[in-house]
Amino acid sequence: MITRLENDTTWKPGAVRRSLLLPWRAAEDRAELRAALSGDRSAFETLMERHADALRSFLSNKVHAEQLDDMQQDVWLACWQGVATFDGRCTFRTWLFSIAMNKVRNHWKSRARTQHEQPLLEFHLSEAAQQAFDRTESEETIRAMLNTLSHEQREVLDLYYRSEFNLPEVAKILNRNLNTVKYQFYRAHECLAENLDREVRA
């Protein structure tokens, strides 16, 4: 099962894919933001439309399904209220996700006080992974492996692989030192490599 997951022809180790679209997209966001700052609501709505799916996907494995809509609304409200404080030192997308991360943290902090709940961070398996699993036990094995990681390590992996941020952006969103994030990223891979070796041997 695991050997099947190791097949990926689209990935070239060490290759850096650059896109000419990146500055253009960031510039587009900046233009919408400028318009929003001058009170143009429709510009902000365009921004919301552009990033809504990514934000929803980001929040979906961090809060319970019934709280997802409320959380999303809270994030957009905080974004609208703080749009004047955006300094442009990172992309709008990174800034938006750092607001979302803070909202999620506050949410779990208040729940821990009142209901003694632990923060949620579940990995929804991708379609490719689901196709590769022959048995439900195998899916459980992978989930169990990911659950052996610390919450901090899972946060880094989630932002990197699922939300597709690079490591400096992950550090910015999590408000952590870049070297700490790099170490957590490495430790997560190292722990999983050990688990995978054990699984293959078994």
Partner 1 sequence: MKSSCQNINQDLLLELHGELGCWKRVALLWHLQRCPECRQHKARLEKTTLVLRNVIGKGPTLRPATVLRLPVVLVAVFAAVLIAGLLANRSVASSGFKTNATATHSADGCDAPKIIAKTPCGTAAMVPKPK
The site for partner 1, by CB under 8 A, has a size of 46
**Host H or E run for residue 109:** helix 92-115
Q: State which residue, 2 or 83, has the beta carbon closest to partner 1.
A: 2
49 makes contact with partner 1 (CB under 8 A): no
Instruction: Single out the residue of 132, 121, 194 nearest to residue 162, CA to CA.
Output: 121
Select the residue interacting with partner 1 from 81, 128, 148, 198 (CB under 8 A). 128
What binding mask, one character per residue, do residues 131-160 give for partner 1 by CB under 8 A, x or -?
-x---------x---x----------xx-x
Start-to-end C-alpha separation, the chain? 13
The four Cα atoms 47, 49, 51, 53 give a dihedral, to 10 degrees, of 170
Tokens of 18: 């650059």
Q: Which residue's entry shows tokens 């609501």?
A: 41
Q: State which residue, 7 or 115, has the beta carbon closest to partner 1.
A: 7
- Eight-state DSSP code of residue 163: S
* Stretch of 2-10, 47-55, 68-76, 97-105 contacting partner 1, by CB under 8 A: 2-10
54 makes contact with partner 1 (CB under 8 A): no
181 contacts 174 by C-beta, under 8 angstroms: yes
- Eight-state DSSP code of residue 165: -
Neighbours of 105 (CB within 10 A): 14
120 makes contact with partner 1 (CB under 8 A): no
The four Cα atoms 11, 13, 14, 20 give a dihedral, to 10 degrees, of -10
Q: CB of residue 7 vs partner 1: minimum separation in angstroms?
A: 7
* Stretch of 31-39, 73-81, 110-118, 177-185 contacting partner 1, by CB under 8 A: 177-185
Helical packing angle, 21-37 and 92-115, nearest 10°:
70
189 makes contact with partner 1 (CB under 8 A): yes
* Stretch of 72-80, 81-89, 109-117, 118-126 contacting partner 1, by CB under 8 A: 118-126
What binding mask, one character per residue, do residues 8-27 give for partner 1 by CB under 8 A, x or -?
x-xx-xxxxxxx-xx-----
Neighbours of 155 (CB within 10 A): 23
Q: Which residues bind partner 1 (CB under 8 A)?
A: 2, 5-8, 10-11, 13-19, 21-22, 123, 125-126, 128-129, 132, 142, 146, 157-158, 160-169, 182-183, 185-186, 189-190, 192-193, 196-197
